Amino acid sequence: MIDKILRFGARLVLAHVMAAILVCPALLSVASAASIPDAARASIPPPDLEARSWVLMDFNTGWILAENEADLRIEPASLSKLMTAYVVFDRLKQGALKLDDQVHISETAWRTGGSRMFVKVNSNVLLEDLLKGLIVQSGNDAAVALAEHVAGSEPGFAELMNQYAAKLGLSNSRFQNSTGLPNPEHYSTARDLSVLAASLIREFPDYYRIYSIREFEYNGISQRNRNKLLWRDESVDGVKTGHTNAAGYCLIGSAQRDGMRLVATITGAKSPRYRTNAVHSLLKHGFAAYESRLIYGDTTAATEIDVYYGETDKLPVGVGRNLHVTVPRGSFDKLKAEIVVNEMQLAPIVQAQPVGNLTLSYAGAVLDEYPLVALNGIPEGAWWKRLLDKARLWIR
Q: Which residues contact 335 (CB under 8 A, 6 or more apart)?
A: 17, 18, 19, 295, 325, 327, 360, 361, 362
CA-CA distance, 144 to 155, in Å (whole number)? 10
38 phi and psi angles, rounded to 5 deg: -55, -35
CA-CA distance, 210 to 85, in Å (whole number)? 11
CA-CA distance, 182 to 179, in Å (whole number)? 9
CA-CA distance, 138 to 242, in Å (whole number)? 8
Instruction: Given the residues 53, 80, 81, 281, select the one marked as catalytic.
Output: 81
CA-CA distance, 208 to 225, in Å (whole number)? 14
CA torsion sign, 31 to 255 to 200 to 158?
A: positive
Of the chain, the end-to-end C-alpha distance in Å amounts to 26
138 as an active site residue: the answer is yes
Q: Which residues pair with 253 in a beta bridge?
A: 239, 264
78 as an active site residue: the answer is yes
CA-CA distance, 275 to 102, in Å (whole number)? 36
Residue 346 per-residue DSSP state:
B
Helix (H, G, I), strand (E, B) or coil at 163: helix
Instruction: Given the residues 53, 80, 106, 138, select the one marked as catalytic.
Output: 138
CA torsion sign, 314 to 17 to 3 to 355?
A: negative
Instruction: Given the residues 78, 80, 106, 254, select the one marked as catalytic.
Output: 78
Residue 335 and residue 291 in contact, taking contact as beta carbons nearer than 8 Å: no
Residues marked active site are found at: 78, 81, 138
